[in-house]
Amino acid sequence: MISFQATTDLSKSAEITYANMRSYYQHYSVDWQQSNIAQQISELDNWDILFDGEVVGAIRLQFDESGCYLRDLQISQAFQNQGIGAKALGEATRVARQSGAKQIRLRVFKISPAYGLYKRLGFEVIDEDDRFYNMTKDIA
């Protein structure tokens, strides 16, 4: 069973992110440490993704005048491709709507398989650079 809760351990959440993102950081020669992640996420709206009570991922949201920015959606590798990411996007959308947001924005590495999930769930590319797609979805 998939459930969600406010993040209780930012360092565990940062571990999941670092493990998932390490290959992208290496691919793009980004020097990014787990401690940097923990520091960066402390100011965000952080949610744990649980599968049968075990923390297996993270949702991180940031709100501004433009709506909701999905800063992170991370699923531990052993739990990927099981529908958890799609459910987590549904939860992110629910939280964003409840906060009054009319749209969700995100940025995804071009080489990330998550791009396909976002496209499948209605996100559209609004611009891109050499590394990233910037995507948005209206949720009003």
Q: What is the DSSP string of the chain?
A: -EEEEE-S-HHHHHHHHHHHHHHHHHHTT----HHHHHHHHTTSEEEEEEETTEEEEEEEEEEETTEEEEEEEEE-GGGTTSSHHHHHHHHHHHHHHHTT-SEEEEEEETT-THHHHHHHTT-EEEEE-SSEEEEEEE--
pLDDT tens digits, residue range 37-89? 777 888 899 999 999 999 999 999 999 988 999 999 999 999 999 999 999 99
pLDDT tens digits, residue range 4-38? 999 999 988 988 988 888 888 788 777 766 667 77
pLDDT confidence of residue 140: 85
Residue-number span of the structural domain to which 59 is assigned:
2-138
pLDDT confidence of residue 39: 79
CATH value at residue 116: 3.40.630.30
pLDDT confidence of residue 6: 96
pLDDT confidence of residue 24: 83
pLDDT confidence of residue 21: 86
pLDDT confidence of residue 55: 96
* pLDDT (average), residues 114-139: 96
124 has a pLDDT exceeding 80: yes
